[in-house]
Structure 1
Amino acid sequence: MRKDNTVRAIAIASGKGGVGKTNVAVNLAVALADLGSRPLLLDADLGLGNVDILLGLSPRFNLSHVLSGEKTMADILIKGPHDIHILPAASGVAGMADLDLGQRAGLIEAVSSLDADVDHLLIDLAAGIATDVLTFSRAAQEVLVVVSNEPASITDAYALIKVLSRDHGLRRFHVLPNMVADAREGQILFQRLSAVAERYLEVQLDLAGIIPLDPAMRSAVRAQQCIFDRYPGSAAAQAFRTLAHTVRAWPRRTEGRGEMRFFLERLFADMAPALRA
């Protein structure tokens, strides 16, 4: 990694599954790359990773091989469309979904050894409020909460924000309405979630963007391609380009040294009390 890199770590989360979170992570990474950024996409749904599946990739190795000591992070790093870099998770490996503290520490140390030219670290989290989700969210500089216009999605997104703010001190969240009919529906959805969160929680929510429900996206998923390769002129593709511009314009946080290791050091700091116990 170049010494002058400034890495922005973004945790991409959702209260429930089925809201298109991994699609958001993949297409945001590609959109950032098209703008000249150098994104690294970490599939942090450790036991049920599917970033590679969405893109039609077949990695020989994944994070489970790193934990077993068979491979290094550099060994499992693969290139996706538009030269994005991907660290693939395991799929269907039950033990990966329930790592103990020592294993998580080992995984983090392995990531820290990765020498990559990166300016955006996108962490595609598992849905819900599992330990790994909370750990990565606390350590990231930004948390992007993906929500759809369904009662369960809205309720669970609120629950995720509540746990992260009440129990872990996070105060700022970016919200991304996904698969909505139009901009008006996305605005109303954001306002509903924001009004409740800001009334009952000490948090600040901002609208990161709005991704429409676009038949082109479903077709791209079936073809295992990013939206930009399948339908570059679609409404969804344009929405992701707008989101990428917005993400690049987010103010830089002052904490950390501006290198990817700051993210890992925050994870270690968070784990340290339990590791000493």
Structure 2
Amino acid sequence: MSGWETGPDDEETGAMMRAVVRQLKLWREAAGLTQAEFGTAIGYGEELVSSVERGRRIPRPEYLDAADEALRAGGKIAALKHDVAEVRYPKKVRGLKRLEAEAVELGAYNNSVVHGLLQTTEYARAVFGSRRPPFTTDELEERLSARVSRQEIISEATARPLFSFVQCESTLRRPIGGRMVLRGQLERLLQVARLPNVDLQVLPLSHEENSGLAGSFRLLRLKDGTTVGHVEVQHISRVIADPREVQLLDMRYGTIRAQALNPRESMALIEKVLGET
């Protein structure tokens, strides 16, 4: 259960956990079980049961499944898995995922790594694994799970929202995770680039002009007609809502797209790099 602690400054997680804890405790007490007896019934220690019921630990899906069976709840406790599925991720990841869910169009430029929505699991694991100081095993798995869950938004079935990605050629050649991981990542890029709602462009290193040298960023056009930006550098993740700042990012992104190869040419370049890898 390590890595599932609740943050003291995360109000959303706190509110959700209070509701979940209330249900778990009511079911346990209705069954006439102490925390120790309940822990024995579901295969966990009394200390961990206590931590969950005090809201200090977020129960994993297997904990809720075991509780549902032991308390004969008929699926009512297991259904809480949906409620805790989102709050177990870091707060900034949840906020970004909500923005992406509200977007009708998403544009992103990346010059260091492949965009998170396009990363394979192996590539993402290597990216998180390169962090210094390193994540613990549980922290790495938590972030990896969060990143993979965000990728559900790219669906061939819905063809929404519209996506535009511009990748600097350097991200296609940097062998993060090794050559085989890079090959898998390039194959993934080609797969996504063929989706009808995705435009994937590459800005070649041979081009003299690159208006994205200041770093990676993204733009999200929301359902209500507004546009917000998002930048992330080192340990800072910032959503930009000021219309003037957003306008500057929008202008810059338009210039970057004009400087990049068109989607067809970009796919050809990715295939070329794949052949060389």
TM-score normalized with structure 2 length = 0.30
Instruction: Answer with 1 or 2: which has the greater Rg.
Output: 2
TM-score normalized with structure 1 length = 0.30
